[in-house]
Every structure is written in structure tokens, then in C-alpha cells.
Amino acid sequence: MTAVDTAVDTGPALADRILGGWLGRIAGNMLGKPVEQGDVWTRDRIDRYLRAADALPLTDYLPEPAGDDDPPLRPEWRSCVRGRIHGSCRDDDVDYAILGLDLLETHGFGFTTEQVGELWLRRLPYLQTFTAERAAYRNLANGLKPPVTATYDNPYQEWIGALIRADIHGWTSPGDPRRAASLARRDAVLSHTGNGVYGAMWAAALIAAAFTAPTVRAAVDTALTVIPAGSRLARTVRRALALHEAGLPWEDALDTLAEETAGLGWIHTVPNAAVITSGLLYGGGDFTRTIALTVRGGLDTDSNGATAGSVAGVMTGAAAVPAQWKDPLEDTVRSAVFGFDGVSIGELAERTLCLARLDA
């Protein structure tokens, strides 16, 4: 154990925090899912939609559309807007957390990048992969090996896909961000390079740090220590921290960050990390405010909501996650991962806890 590990409670509090992480990831994902198209559903458009529905401040899942004035929501909206949710809808942001759990249960913490790829081929349907993951999957099927799977004919190497796969490494390394980052890196290099890999390491460390950090700011500061200080990701996260510390309003901070990351695209790791960081900082440890601000921040809304929700859920614990977020989930997850569709959220959390305690 490292020094930071000794502060982790391995009793009921740890179980509550891990369950909080799962609930937060799923709820944040569901909140952002209807508007997951950052080039259409901009921050301004999301807020106009909410204002028209008298849903600001946002304290619950998105309201269903009242008319035809806005661009259409994603086709899944009918199963992830308030009043219509009965369990989680299927999404890759949750599938990869489940797949990561299966990876650690199957191969342990000594897993190899090659074993990550083998598990994808066995457990994950090709058409449920996207961008860098689909390129890597195709490369695997064609017989290529890591790290070539990440670089051959893959224009998405720095996009957000590896970041959304990182939660399981944080949940199973409570209080040990460097270990979490190392595990996440081994997973990420199957499909990503550069800031794409750093994003996974940063997210895993952020979640691991959330178990013991006294504040959100402390968790973000700790997560920065696991990635190269000169990377575009680190510089952008530091910029978000500086804008918050300077007292800029949330909207102005995001305007500044959007200008400084312009041209990277709405699925790139760096601008999305800026939205996540800002949501966490301006959310101030409040679960509802954190995921609401993060999703209202736009870009890859469901992925960002999921990561911010995971951090906030770990910090508050499941018992403190407000009922309007967790009750509609009905303790049920829909998943494309073979053998896991309909699994209980509680079961996923219990299995994650077993792994975290196994290495305590």
C-alpha cells in the first residue's frame, strides 16, 4: 500500500462510495444522453431547451420535448427523460465500465493490453463500438497487435473513448491514483495515443483520489500529477482550475476554455476534460449541481455527465445521491456486453468492492 491507501475505509463506507460511483456514472450518462451531439446541441441550445421547459435550474433528468422548435433529441430520449425512465438505457459509457469489471475478474490486475483486446472480441459487439474503439476492434479482427491497433488507420487516437473506460480502475484503486492511472494506461493504449491515453489516466486517478480527497479541488490537483505537465490536457485542466480560482462565473469560464480549445472537435479528450473539470469545480461537491452543470456544458454530454457523476458519487456515497437520480434506475442496467444485460447495479458495485478489497 502507498501512504494514501491507509486512509481508505474498507468497511461499509467503501461499499457506499463504490455504489455511489456506479450510480453517478449511470445517472450522469442518462442525463446527458438525449443531447449527445455536441456540434448540434451546443451549451446555448441546451439551456434554451431547458428554459423553454421551465427546467432551470436543472435538478432532475431532462424534460421531454414540448414541441418541434429544437433539433431532435437522440432516438433513445424516450427511455432517458424524466417520468419515462425504468432502468438505465444501454450506452457504451456504461458498457465499458462493465467490460472493465469483467476484465479484472477474469485476468486480475496483471492483465495485458492484448487481453483487453481479446475480451472485446469475445464480449462486445462490433457495432456497439465507435471512433477509436471501432478502429482498434477492426485492427484486432484483422490480426494486428497492440500498440499498432491504436495507430493503424485510426484518426480518433486522442478522442474521449479511453477516458470513458477508466472508471473501473479508479473504483478498484481507492486512494491510490497512481496505481489507477497505470491500470488505465494499460487499457487505453489498445486504441489511443497521446492525450487520449492521458485522459484515461487522468480520469482513473481523479476517481481514485475522490475516495480520500477532502475536496473536489484536491482530487483534481492530485489527478494532474499522473500525466505529463506539458501535455495539452494538463495545461487545459490547469487553465480551468485557474479560471475557477479567479472567480469567473461558470459560463464565462467555459467560454474562455471553448475559445482556447477551438478546432479540436466535440469528441476530443481535451475540451471535454475542460467541461468535466469545470462541472466538478463549480458543482462544489453537490451531486445534482455537478452533473447538471457538466451536462449543460455541452460537447460529449453523456460521457462527461458519466465521468463527473462517477467522481461526485464516490465523494458523496450512494446514500447521499438524491432519490430523483437513483430511484428511476430501478437497480437495473441494460448492456450490450455479453452476459450482463439486465444486471443489478448493486451486484456490479458488490463485485467491484470485492476487487477493491482483494488488493487492499
SS3 100: helix
Q: What is the mean pLDDT of the chain?
A: 95
Question: If you average pLDDT over residues 10-25, what whole number do you get?
Answer: 94
What percent helix, strand, coil does the chain show, rounded to 5? Answer: 60, 0, 35
Q: Is residue 150 part of a domain?
A: yes
Q: Is residue 22 part of a domain?
A: yes
Q: What is the pLDDT of residue 3?
A: 35
Number of independent structural domains in the chain: 1
Q: Is residue 70 part of a domain?
A: no
For residue range 104-157, what is the model confidence (pLDDT) as tens digits?
999 999 999 999 999 999 999 999 999 999 999 999 999 999 999 999 999 999
CATH number at residue 222: 1.10.4080.10
Q: Is residue 277 part of a domain?
A: yes
**Full domain range(s) for residue 225:** 3-64+76-358
What whole-number distance in Å separates Cα of residue 111 and Cα of residue 259? Answer: 40
Q: What is the pLDDT of residue 66?
A: 81
For residue range 233-291, what is the model confidence (pLDDT) as tens digits?
999 999 999 999 999 999 999 999 999 999 999 999 999 999 999 999 999 999 999 99
Q: What is the pLDDT of residue 2?
A: 37
Better-scored residue on pLDDT, 97 or 3: 97
C-alpha cell at 211: 475516495
CB atoms within 10 A of CB 55: 17
For residue range 40-96, what is the model confidence (pLDDT) as tens digits?
999 999 999 999 999 999 999 999 998 766 688 999 999 999 999 999 999 999 999
